[in-house]
Structure 1
Amino acid sequence: MSLKPFEFDRQFGELDQVIRAYLGRTADGEGEEGGPDAALEAYLRHTWHTRPWAVAVAEQQIREYADNPPGRLRRRLGEFYPVPDVGLPDAEIRDWLERVADHLKRSIEDGAVPPPCPPRTHWEWHARFPELSQLFGGWFSQDMPDEFPDHDSAMRDYATQTDAQLVARAVGELRELSSLGLDEAEYAVALAELGMEVDPPAPFAPSAWIAQLSDRLRAGGS
């Protein structure tokens, strides 16, 4: 029988977070000058600033998995973590996991914390702005024109159908997004990374619409 959620999280929960940071990217583990690659650096940057204790948990879980890969019985019973496709042959997965664990350990021992900066991977955008990924991906997807007459209607629907605490969280994330100081092309990329599949309403540039959306949601969608 497959692992129950509690047992899965205890053995593989943080390992899974690290692996998810690599989805859609080719796993390497080595960046410039022997440091972590972009995906692992994004995981470290976000986790050090939100859940610093989890870095050590990730290192331990990855190390144990690499040292004790699942045998045929555990595979048949489903009592193991199936590493998703990270662009490596199966024979290279173990060495890659060990390199990742080494980078995590070095980060802890040296206190090497990546400085704050705008997100650099798809995973990091969603990890840093989880409520905006719900807002943009759920209300401003390619289906928005079929569901709402305009952007304002979609925004009001989100504001009235979503718990007030989550709306407040979205407002905070919008303000944080505005504070990144990106140029307009970069803000357009940010919106796309967070799931928005329609253009901002005319005549707003991406940054101006983000600011207006924050003000409107803070006012209750009015």
Structure 2
Amino acid sequence: MFYKLFNKKRKKVDDLGSKIFSNDVNELMENNFNVMFIPLFDLFENKEKFKLEYRWCSDYEYICLNCHYKYESFNTKYYLECLKENKCIIIEIKNLGSLVFTSCHRDDLFLVLQRYYKDVTSYVFKGNDTGGYFKILRNGIIIRKISSYLITEGIGNKPETRGEPCEYEVEKGKIWKVDMKAKSLKDMITDFYMKDVLDLFDYYVGLNNLKNDSIQRIIIYDLIED
């Protein structure tokens, strides 16, 4: 339902300069999104510069530089341009928590954050026209993961599921499973797409909560590989 709603608004235009935006938060969830929800605020404590490290793998290390962005009104085009430049956008939603958006080139940042904020249940949502990715994290551990053959910039994600079916799957009576006998990667999970990720987002976070007047603050960081 929500996927159809977004498709009515979406125009397939690659050049951001020629696209007309309505400048609302939902536009960041329309296509090719990478977002992590953490039910906390002030994630980076508004620090000027700091280093994030994934303790088990030195490949995931970033120097984070505060861009000192002053939020006045929502600007979809500017935020999409920031994501194309591999920046991290944190949108704080009142009484809810923080949405951390980044590009496919920097979404390994989520591996770092799941360890930094392991005392709460957090969620990762990724999707585009080729497939979807969903993860529930608690105590820094994957509780549930569903990933189809999601392709970003020519690179395909490994299809897999981990953990027990989540509340959404049980309630809807739809359990995603990997077909280990499939002849190709894209056929291992054939029924998990962006619309399903949006439905999961709506169930666990709430698409209706993404309103401009609910925005508490927007912080933008440069992510520089160390």
- Answer whether TM exceeds 0.5 for this pair: no
TM-score normalised to structure 2 length = 0.25
Structure (1 or 2) with the greater strand fraction: 2
TM-score normalised to structure 1 length = 0.25
Structure (1 or 2) with the greater helix fraction: 1
